[in-house]
Structure 1
Amino acid sequence: YGESHYIGPLASKHYDDGNSKWTNDMPHNGWSTLAAPFIAAYKAGATSVSASHVSATGGDKLVYWYRPQPKGLNCASTDNVGSAPAGADQVADSVFVAALLTSPATIEVTSGGNGVKSAEAGAGVSVFEFPLGTGKQSFALKRGGSTVVSGASPKELPASATVDKLGPDGLSRFTDGLKVATCSPTPTLV
């Protein structure tokens, strides 16, 4: 898991190393989904992703990502290292959504108590940024008044610090100095 990043499904059979502690409940499978129409466009000699590239790779999809907790939370008090890693505040408190579309549609995001925010997206691939709110994260793709794709993230955004997920040291020494007893060494999203 070089540089705290990986593409594709996490298939670790053990949960006793630092890397799996950092990657538990942090799937990156969406990067493969997002890459597919770009790969199809490249193979076709195209210079941009079109609706036909999205159709050829499975049709309409939404790929989303967001911070595991807001920047403003004092997570250092729950981390056995004592401080957030350098750069932990660089990613915005936003929900990012990539819309892979066969034709234009409306993207709707409900982030916590923020209410529904929407954006109009054209065919191909478009990326949007929405304000991040604590709580449940829900997504919908609508076209012609009908919902085409919808769902919710299995990870709610916490309103208070739990175990530091801002860097790989947050759970790397799980049994050595952990300050809270509310987390498990095994993933919950398997």
Structure 2
Amino acid sequence: MKVSIKNMVCCRCIAVVRQVFEKMDVATVRVQLGEVELEEELSSVQTSYLRNWLSEKGFELLDDRKMVLVERVKTLIIEIIHGADSIDLTLKLSYLIQQKLSIDYNYISSLFSNIEGITIEQYLILQRIERAKEFLEYDELTLSEIAHKLGYSSVQYLSTQFKKATGFSPSHYKKIKENSRKPLDQL
């Protein structure tokens, strides 16, 4: 049995969710971003406890198939941006989504926009900008390296999107060290 969980965005989220299942004494086969595979079906009482415990930790148990699909797209985008070393960011996003989820991109794009209120591409840009902010705050990479790492064709393209999203150029953001990063689950 698989259960889908909203707001799992990092390795710490996986650890917290794993602890919730251990606390419930429910055996898991696999815990990954947005999804937990269980050895057995949950009873209605267990599902109720799970829903409450996840809510206390800032997560949400997803029951609706469409919400699960949208969450899978969000999880995939987070994996693309944060695991960029292993994924070719020059590939079109629509192609990556279709390949990974085996679902028609036009359908998923329309569904995503209706549920989230923004397009998949806008969500990708928000994720890229948050990752760029992270790189800028660490001050370990040049702007050119950041642009390359995030799949931008040029520093200028990164700078244009960054300024549009934040109101600052990347170099200005780096200078003022304004910590305006957002948690990934709130994008």
TM over 0.5: no
Question: Could you say which structure has the greater relative contact order, defined with CA pairs below 8 angstroms and 6 or more residues apart?
Answer: 1
Structure with greater helix share of residues: 2
Structure with greater strand share of residues: 1
| TM-score of the pair, normalised by structure 1 | 0.32
